[in-house]
Amino acid sequence: MVDLVAQPLSEAIYKLEQHSVKYDVTITKPSRHALPMTDELYVIRQQIGADGVRVLVVATKMGKEVFK
């Protein structure tokens, strides 16, 4: 299966469903919100569990980027 890291969650889910791959999504958030964040989620880590389910850890894009 392809590497899904750094891809938007919507694209990652589309690719997984195209290949009939079971997946689970975990959303992570920072403890403080000092920087602006977007609403779109991106895959920051992927693992394959012992049961064969692909686990995707996702987060919003954040940093010093300028959002419009």
Residue 1 included in any domain: no
Cα angle 50, 44, 64 (rounded to 5 degrees) comes to 165
Residue 67 included in any domain: no
Kindly indicate the confidence band of residue 19, based on its pLDDT and cuts at 50, 70 and 90: very high
**Structural domain count, the chain:** 1
Q: Are 60 and 41 in contact (CB under 8 A)?
A: yes
Kindly indicate the confidence band of residue 60, based on its pLDDT and cuts at 50, 70 and 90: confident
| Residue of 59, 47, 53 whose CA lies nearest to 4 | 47
- Domain hosting 50: range is 9-62
Average pLDDT over residues 27-33: 77
- 49-59: pLDDT as tens digits: 999 999 999 99
Taking the C-alpha atoms of residue 62 and residue 55, their distance in angstroms, rounded to an integer, is 22
Taking the C-alpha atoms of residue 53 and residue 35, their distance in angstroms, rounded to an integer, is 33
Residue 2 included in any domain: no
pLDDT of residue 27: 92
Taking the C-alpha atoms of residue 42 and residue 10, their distance in angstroms, rounded to an integer, is 8
